[in-house]
Structure 1
Amino acid sequence: MNQLLAMRAFLRVVDTGSFSRAADQLALPRSTVSKLINDLEKHLGVKLIQRTTRAVAPTSDGQAYYEHAMRWIADLDSVESAVRGKKLKPSGHLRIDAPAAFANCLLIPKLAEFHRAYPDITIAVGISDRPLNIVEEGVDCVIRAGRLDDMAMIGRRVTELQYVTCAAPAYLDRKGIPSSPDDIRSNHDAACYFFAATGKAELLIFERGAERFEIGNCVFSTNEGNGLKEMLVAGLGIGQHFRRIVQPCLDSGELVEILEDWSRPAMPFHILYPPNRHQNARLKVFVDWVIQKFGADLPVTE
C-alpha cells in the first residue's frame, strides 16, 4: 500500500464527502480510491469512513485521524515546496473561480503576465457569480465580492472597486437626466444585479455626507456582472456598476455618468482558499500575484 497516497485519498474523501468526487480530483479510478481507504483501515486496524447510501462521513476515529493527517500532509508539502523551490519554479495545475465581470474584464487580460512569470503552471478559470463549495468542486481558490461569510476559509483582501452611476445616452434622451436620487425613485427605471441564491435585487445606494438613499425600483435585473453592463448599454435603465468594469463604455460614450456628487460604498474583493492548502507553492504564488497586481492597479478606498 502506498500509505502517503492513501492518506491523501482519505483526506480528499472526507473533504468532498464523496468517493467519486475524490477520485475525480485525484485523477484516479473510484475503485482505486476505495481500495486505498480499505487498505488504510486494515493497516490502522480501525474504521475510518462510515458509508451509507446517502452520505460518506468519518467515524470518530476517522475524524481524529483526519486532524493529524491533515497537519502531517501540510507539513510534508511545506518541506517539499521549500526544497523544490530552491531548484524549480512552482508547477502544476490551478483551478480558480471568479465573478464574471472580474474574470472577463480584469483577471483574464492579465493572465499572460502571470504565465510569463510561471510558465509551468496551468490555470483553469471558472467564471461564475454563484456561490460554490470550494472543496467539493475541486477549486483551489475563489475571488469573491463582498464581506467574508465563510470563516472556514482563509480570506485575503485583494482590492476595493468603486461604483459609478450611469446610463446609456438613448435612455437619458428618452427619460431625461435625473437631478437627484429622489428623481430616480420617482421618474426612472433601474437596471440592477440580483442574487441567484435568493432572487432578490440589489438596491441602488446613494450617499452624500450624512444623506443616504436606497432605491429599489428595479425593472430589469441579472445575476451576472457582464449582463448588467449590457443592460445599461442597451438603454434599459439607470444602474450602478464597478467603474473599472464600465470605464471603456464611459470613454466611448456608450454610457454616461450621472449624479457625480453622490457615491455608493466601494465593494471589497477577497481571494479565498481552504486552510489546508496554504503551503501549496503554485497557489501561494498565484494569490500573491493577484494581490500585488490588482491591489496596485485598481482603485482602493482608504
Structure 2
Amino acid sequence: MDRLVSMQAFTRVVDVGSFARAAESMDLPKATLTRLIQNLETHLGVKLLHRTTRRISVTNDGAAYYERCVRILADVEEAEQSLTRQNNSPRGTLSVDTTAGLAQLVLVPHLHEFFQAYPDLKLDLTINGKPIDLLQEGVDVVLRVGTPVEESMVARRIGHVQLAFYASPIYLNRFGTPHDLAELAQHKAVNFLSNRTGREMPWPMARGMERSEVLLPSAISTNDADVYMGCALEGHGVARVSRAMAEPYVASGRLVEVMTDWQTEELPISAMYPQNRHLSAKVRVFVNWAADLFSRHPHFGAAQQRLAAAA
C-alpha cells in the first residue's frame, strides 16, 4: 500500500465529502480510491469514515487522523519543494474562483505574464460571485470583493474597488440629473442583490461630515454584474458602479457620473484560502502575483499604501 497516496485519498474524501468527487479530483477510478481507503482502515485497524447512501461522515478516530494527515502531507510537500526547483517553478493545476469583473478587467489581460513566470502551472479559472466552500468545490484560492466573513479562511487584502454613481443619458433625459439627496430620493435605481442575503443593497453615502444610507425604489434588481451594467446602460435607473467598469462607457458617452459631490464606500478585494491548510507554492506565487498586479492597476491599486498601513 502506498501510504502517502492513501492519506491523500482519505483527506480528499473528507474535504469534498464524496468518493466520486475525490476520485475525479485525483484522476483515479472511484473503485481504486475506495480500495485505498479500505486498505488504510485495515492497516490502521480503525474505521475512519461512516458511509451511507446519502452522506459520508468522519469518525472520531478519522477526525484525529485527518488533522495529522494534513500536517504530514504538508511537511512532505515542503520537503520535496526544498530539494527541487518547485519553489521557483511550481507545477500542477491551480484552481482559482473569482468574479467576472476582476477576471476581465485585471487577470485575463495579464495572464501571459503569469504563464511566462510559471510555465509549469495550469490555471482553472471559474467565475462565481457567490460564497463557496473551497474544500467541497476543490478550489485553491478565491478572489472576492467586499469584507470577508468566512472565519475559516485566510484573507489577504490585495486591492480595493472605487465606486461612484452613474446613469445613462437615456434615463437622465427623461427624469433629470440628481444633485443632492433630496433630488436623488425622487429617482429610481438599478439595485444590486446581495449574494449572501438576497436583499437589495443600500448605498452608504458621504459628503464631508454628512453621512447617509440610501435605498432607492427600483424597477429591476439583480445579482449579476453584467446584467446590472446592462440595465444601467439601458436607462432603468441610477446605478452604483465601479469606476473601472464605468470608465469606457463614460468615455463613449453611454454613462454619466452623477452625485459627484458625494462619495460611497471603497470595497476591499481579498485573496482567500483555507487557514487549516499548508500554503502550497502554487497558491503562494499566484496570490503574490495577483497582489502585485492589483497594486499596479490605476483603479484597483491606488489605496495599496493605506491598506498596508492598516494591516
TM over 0.5: yes
Distance 1:191 1:20, change over 3 A: same
Superposed CA offset, 1:224-251 (max 9, x none):
1122122111111101111112211122
CA RMSD of aligned residues (A): 1.6
User: How far is 1:144 from its partner?
Assistant: 1.0
- In structure 1, the residue matched to 2:204 is 205
Following the alignment from structure 2 to structure 1, what is the Cα–Cα distance between the partners of residues 64 and 273? 23
User: How far is 1:85 from its partner?
Assistant: 2.7
For these two proteins, the number of residue pairs brought into alignment is: 301
Instruction: Tell me the TM-score normalized by structure 2.
Output: 0.92
Say yes or no: does 1:250 pair with 2:243. Answer: no
Matches within 5 A, 1:140-179: 140-179=140-179
Distance 1:86 1:176, change over 3 A: closer
- In structure 2, the residue matched to 1:241 is 241
Amino acid in the other structure paired with 1:269:
I
Secondary structure of the corresponding residue to residue 264 of structure 2 = coil
Instruction: Tell me the TM-score normalized by structure 1.
Output: 0.94
Following the alignment from structure 2 to structure 1, what is the Cα–Cα distance between the partners of residues 102 and 84? 33
Find runs of 4+ consecutive structure 1 residues off by over 4 angstroms. none
User: How far is 1:209 from its partner?
Assistant: 2.3
- In structure 2, the residue matched to 1:67 is 67
CA contact (8 A) 1:161 1:242 kept: yes
Matches within 5 A, 1:97-176: 97-176=97-176
* Alignment gaps of 5+ in structure 1: none
Matches within 5 A, 1:41-60: 41-60=41-60
Secondary structure of the corresponding residue to residue 131 of structure 1 = coil
CA contact (8 A) 2:81 2:87 kept: no
CA contact (8 A) 2:87 2:281 kept: no
CA contact (8 A) 1:204 1:239 kept: no
* Alignment gaps of 5+ in structure 2: 307-311
Secondary structure of the corresponding residue to residue 84 of structure 2 = helix
Greater Cα offset, 104-113 or 33-42: 104-113
Superposed CA offset, 1:117-162 (max 9, x none):
2122111211121221111111111111211211111111111111
Amino acid in the other structure paired with 1:172:
L
Following the alignment from structure 1 to structure 2, what is the Cα–Cα distance between the partners of residues 64 and 286? 31
CA contact (8 A) 2:101 2:225 kept: yes
